[in-house]
Structure 1
Amino acid sequence: MVPRGPHRITGVPRSVPVAPACAAALLAVALTACGSGAHGTLGGFGVGDPFFPKAGNGGYDVTHYGLTLAYDPRTSRLSGTAAVTARATQDLSAFDLDLRGLDVQSVTVGDHSARWERAGQELTVRPRGGLDDGETFRVTVRYSGVPEPITDPDGSREGWLRTADGALALGEPTGSMAWFPGNHHPSDKASYDLAVTVPQGLRAVSNGELTGERTKAGRTTYTWHTAEPMASYVATLAVGRYDITRTATPAGLPVYVAVDPAKAAASKEALAQIPKVMEWAEYNFGPYPFSSTGAIVDRDADAEYALETQNRPVFPGVPDTETLVHELAHQWFGNSVTPKTWRDMWLNEGFATYAEWLWDEDHGGDSAQKTFDALYDHGDDTYEDLWDFPPARPTSAAHISDSAVYQRGAMVLHRIRQTVGDDTFYDIVQGWAAAHRHGNADTDDFTAYVEKKAPGEDFSGIWEEWLYGDGKPAKD
């Protein structure tokens, strides 16, 4: 994602009703008490994320989402069936899915109807007879309604954003629950299949690979398949009129680009850089972790920020080169290596920001050292909050996208590079991406990995002063 905070235009925050935790707890107790023969316990509503404690759910692990959707921009109505395949990680008498707004028509687990209740963003499901620890199950939810945006703690809008000719779904950090039910926390990644039906003349663009396109009776259905694990916050769906370009990188990686016709001419030169950026990124970060790349370019007013949606990032308007590099670097750092909690956001944004520095260094711009020095000496002139908190310790959910996370995160990486030298540094960067490919990791995992790769070095000062320390660290 491009930096939020002072660089992000935000809308007027909207109040979003959320049931208090005590109400959800009372509901859980009530569900446990009802119905004879159920065994096990309730899966947790929320995984206890330090900044978004209600996000995600306990007691199961999702392996696959099968979404069948229909959307008509004329009515703004979305109807869907979500078939969620998961494995129970404990005996379960009930479990929760995250779903904001939208009306639920029915819920089944396997071949049987299931009892369900709503409380805020929680859809609590009680399967007939319960589920055994280790059991694989499929819960199918039929739902519909007019999906709405979600205002997150920094005031920005995500979720389901209506556009001039359709809609754009963006999920960071919790917006995906606005358009499909699921386990919406980055720690639970899954594969995806989407079948999306829209009025003929519109396109539906998503992650992964386009596997089908069929028009019948004035409506077109697009099917998309994402084989690699994906966190729901980088799942996307763009509905509207798009010009489509299919090319490939020099290595043969498919490049699928969807551009709003109003931006097609202006974005042509910028998007033509994708193969070059990808070739450079693979050289520096290691093998690309996904089956295709590309971009979705909408109009400037359609979103407030660019986002690293998997396979093809979303850009509101024509991206500059730095933004393009930033979001494509996220495919390694954030999308493939995904944080265990939202506290570890710097592992996404620090790497993507440092990728911008490296690109400049390699393409006739300032060296990373010069960028680091300028940021240290004068950075607070541009980023007023630069030294407000250390990158690994954001103060609240409202600040996980502040410049302290992005810029100071990049500074941590540069301090590591200064300490170990270029050869070992790039071994660390590529090894980190490989060791946690398609997985999750946190800051402790990263610091342990760095120390393992450079056993003769002392990193205590970097960790204590730059990664976790308050205030402006000493430069030397």
Structure 2
Amino acid sequence: MEPRTANNGRPRPAAPGRLPRWAPATALLLAVTASCTGSAPGDGAAPVAGPGAAGVGDRLFPSLGNGGYDVVHYGLTLDYAPGTNRLKGTAVVTARATRDLSRFDLDLTGLRVRAATVRGAEARVARRGGELIVTPAKAVRKGETFDTVVTYDGTPRTLRGDDGGREGWIETDDGATALGEPTGSTTWFPGNHHPSDKATYDITVTVPKDEDGDPYDVVANGTLVSQEDKGRAVTWHWRTDEPMASYLAHVSVGYFEIHKGWTDDDLPVYVAVDPEESEDAAGVVDAVPEVVGWASKRFGPYPFSSAGAVVDHLPGLDYALETQTKPYFDEAPDEVLLVHELAHQWFGDSVTPRAWKDMWLSEGLATYAEWLWEEDHGDRDTGETFADFYDGRDPESEGIWAFPPSDPPSAARVSDPPVYGRGAMVVHKVREAVGDRTFFRILRTWTRQHRHGNADTRQFIALCEAESGKDLTGLFDVWLFGRGKPPRM
């Protein structure tokens, strides 16, 4: 993201081949016990099925995500009417139970749930705030992979953060867009909406043609599987085969100029541009493959099966978002902003922070990618940029000393300047300490080791020390964990 202005003892056994005199009565008792608890004789007490936790314990977002299961895949089938802003959806959530579950939660904000099933059998549902509580007809056992199908409809919400920023389902002048960071994805589909639970996606959206009989375009993450004209409506099916955090899931409905192309490595590129932004965004179509090629050399192979961008026309949004495979821009981006959001495909999208407090690993590294781009293209070198941030000459440096990058004081401040600018300064201090050769090996190792997964601050520090063979405790204590502006070193 780029703003702009987380047994009891048992009786001694008999000799082999012999049964003790107490065996018949005890066997009967054990059988009765097993029938009541689900345990088998000799296995000890089996875990009793219980509810999955409402939240994963993230310090900044304690109610976000859920415990007891891991989502494998989302199959989202949506019908959207731009004229009324009404959404109908069916979500098939395929998950693996990580404990015996008598019930579990899904995150869902607003919308009316019409029905739910678990493993094909009707399930009871209840609502509590942003939680959809699902009670299956029969407990789900640990290790079991199961489908939960939720049918829902309504007018999806637009959320406003403490800073006034909009997220969730946002109406545009010709349709709508869905933006998920940090909690907006909960407004248009039920799921486990914490970055630590990534899954693959199929997103199928049907939109009626407008009053002139012209179709709307639908753009989403991943690769376009099919586009079916049904007469009065068109159905678009997009698929994401690589795991994705829910806050990166995206749909845009509207009128777009579609540009298709390829990178030099034969990676398909899909860029959608709102006609209102066509003139200002003329360079984006060629810049996307150029930036992807540059970043691949710096950070390692591009992690997804397609690349692209969505350039919309949404005045007043005032931010861009690194929606997976196709970063979203509310207007035509400049070159540096495009670099930032495309760098997120490595840092944030493929390697996703394990908790929200680790977001500096996403934003700090993407900001440092901006510095590297400027250095490689003849503008400021990274040392000069660092000095401009330290001395307050760069306009983006305002407020960077407010708190340590790895310790945002609240959810409302997870996207504040320290996470970006000071996060990038931490990265630069690592580069100075270990040298260029080791530094770029660290970046490429990071994106390879944690490709399509999650990682945290502790793991990044461990990698820096392992690759460099140096104790970097002092560096991280001062620049990453320290409070206030450190003395120049």
TM-score, normalised with respect to structure 2? 0.89
Query: CA 1:446/1:218 → structure 2, altered by over 3 Å: closer, same or farther?
Result: same
Question: How far apart in 2 are the matches of 1:331 and 1:387?
Answer: 27
CA contact (8 A) 1:56 1:183 kept: yes
Contact 1:213–1:221 under 8 Å retained in 2: yes
Aligned length: 445
Could you say which residue in structure 2 is the equivalent of 1:16? none
Match of 1:191 in 2: 200
> Does the CA contact (< 8 Å) of 1:168 and 1:302 recur in 2?
no
Q: Alpha-carbon deviation of 1:381? A: 6.5
Query: What residue in structure 2 maps to residue 358 of structure 1?
Result: 372
Equivalent runs, 1:109-258 vs 2, <5 Å: 109-200=118-209, 201-258=215-272
Letter of the 1:44 partner, please give it.
Answer: A
Which stretch shifts more, 307-316 or 263-272?
263-272
2:451 pairs with 1:473? no
2:239 counterpart SS class? strand
> What does residue 29 of structure 1 align with?
none
Which residue does 2:2 correspond to in 1? 2
* 2:477 is the counterpart of 1:464: yes
AA aligned opposite 1:377: D
CA distance in 1, matches of 2:291, 2:314: 23
Aligned runs of 1:60-79 on 2, under 5 Å?
A: 60-79=69-88
Report if aligned partners of 1:409, 1:467 keep a CA contact under 8 Å in 2: yes
Q: Secondary structure at the match of 2:429?
A: helix
- From 260, 263, 279, give the equivalent of 1:265: 279
Q: Distance in 2 between matches of 1:384 and 1:366?
A: 19
Whole-Å Cα distance in 2 between the matches of residues 366 and 195 of structure 1?
Answer: 44
Q: CA deviation at 1:396?
A: 1.1
The amino acid across from 1:50 in the alignment is: R
SS at match of 1:326: helix
Does 1:385 find its partner at 2:385?
Answer: no
* Letter of the structure 2 residue corresponding to residue 181 of structure 1: P
Aligned partners of 1:262, 1:121: CA distance in 2, in Å? 36
Q: State the SS of the aligned residue for 1:155.
A: coil
**Contact 2:392/2:398, CA 8 A, preserved across alignment:** no
**Contact conserved, 2:389 with 2:397, CA < 8 A, in 1?**
no
What amino acid maps onto 2:232 in structure 1?
A: G
1:273, distance to aligned residue in structure 2 (A) = 0.9
Is 1:318 paired with 2:322? Answer: no
| Cα offset, 1:380, TM superposition | 7.9
Secondary structure, aligned partner of 2:60: coil
Whether the aligned pair in 1 keeps the contact of 2:172 and 2:314 (CA below 8 Å) is no
In the alignment, structure 1 residue 49 sits paired with structure 2 residue 58: yes
Residues 396 and 421, structure 2, Cα contact 8 Å, conserved in 1: no
Please give the secondary structure, in 1, of the residue aligned with 2:96. Answer: strand
SS at match of 2:319: coil
Find the residue that maps to 1:266 and give its secondary structure.
coil
CA distance in 2, matches of 1:305, 1:254: 26
Matched, 1:433 2:447: yes
* Structure 2: distance between partners of 1:412 and 1:393: 14
- Identical residues among aligned pairs (%): 54
Residue pair 1:157, 1:304 contacting (<8 A) in 2 also: no
**How far 1:263 sits from its partner (Å)?**
1.1
User: 2:428 is aligned with what amino acid?
Assistant: H
Shift of 1:217: 2.9
Q: Is the 1:103–1:145 Cα contact (8 Å) retained in structure 2? A: yes
For 1:106 and 1:411, locate their aligned partners in 2 and report how far apart those are by CA, in whole Å. 50
SS in 2 for 1:188: coil
Gaps of 5+ in 1: 9-35
Query: Which structure ranks higher in relative contact order (CA pairs < 8 Å, sequence separation ≥ 6)?
Result: 1
CA contact (8 A) 2:222 2:239 kept: yes
- Pair 1:422 & 2:422 matched: no
Could you tell me how far apart the structure 1 residues matched to 2:119 and 2:259 are?
Answer: 40
Q: Could you tell me which amino acid in structure 2 is paired with residue 464 of structure 1? A: D
Q: What is the Cα deviation at residue 148 of structure 1? A: 1.1
Aligned partners of 1:152 and 1:93: how far apart in 2?
34
Instruction: For residue 267 of structure 1, give the secondary structure of its aligned residue in structure 2.
Output: coil
- The question of whether the paired residues in 2 share the 8 Å contact of 1:162 and 1:302 is answered with no
SS of 1:272's partner is helix
Tell me how far apart the structure 2 counterparts of residues 473 and 311 of structure 1 sit (CA, whole Å).
Answer: 37
Separation in structure 1 between the aligned mates of residue 167 and residue 122 of structure 2, nearest angstrom: 32
3-state secondary structure, aligned to 1:301:
coil
Deviation at 1:459, TM superposition (A): 1.0
Asked if 2 retains the 8 angstrom alpha-carbon contact of 1:153 and 1:397, the reply is no
Say which of 92, 106, 117 aligns to 1:108: 117
- Which string of whole-angstrom CA distances, capped at 9 and with x for unpartnered residues, describes residues 237-283 of structure 1? 00011110100011111100011111122201133211111110000
Pairwise CA distance, 1:400: 1.0
Report how far residue 383 of structure 1 moved.
3.6
Query: Residue 330 of structure 1: CA displacement?
Result: 0.1
Shift of 1:378: 2.1
Alpha-carbon distance, 1:216 to partner: 1.1
Whole-Å Cα distance in 2 between the matches of residues 244 and 79 of structure 1?
26
In the alignment, the residues of structure 1 paired with residue 439 and residue 189 of structure 2 have an alpha-carbon distance, to the nearest angstrom, of: 40
User: Contact (CA 8 Å) 1:161, 1:303: kept in 2 or not?
Assistant: no
Q: TM-score, normalization: structure 1? A: 0.91
What secondary structure is seen at the aligned counterpart in 2 of 1:167? strand
- In 1, the alpha carbon distance for the partners of 2:428 and 2:409 equals 23
Q: C-alpha deviations, 1:173-229, integer Å up to 9, x for none?
A: 110010000000000000000110002210111000000001113100000110000
1:85 matched to 2:94: yes
Q: Is the 8 A contact 1:213 1:222 kept in 2?
A: yes
Counterpart Cα distance in 1 of 2:353 and 2:271: 27
Measure, in 1, the Cα distance between the counterparts of 2:208 and 2:316: 20
The residue type equivalent to 1:264 in the other structure is S
Q: Which amino acid aligns with 2:468?
A: A
1:280 aligns with 2:294: yes
Once the two structures are TM-superposed, the CA of residue 154 in structure 1 deviates from its matched residue by 3.3
Structure 1 residue 386, shift from structure 2 partner: 1.4
Contact 1:154 1:397 in 2 (8 A): no
Alpha carbons of 1:189 and 1:382: their partners in 2 closer, same or farther (altered >3 Å)?
closer
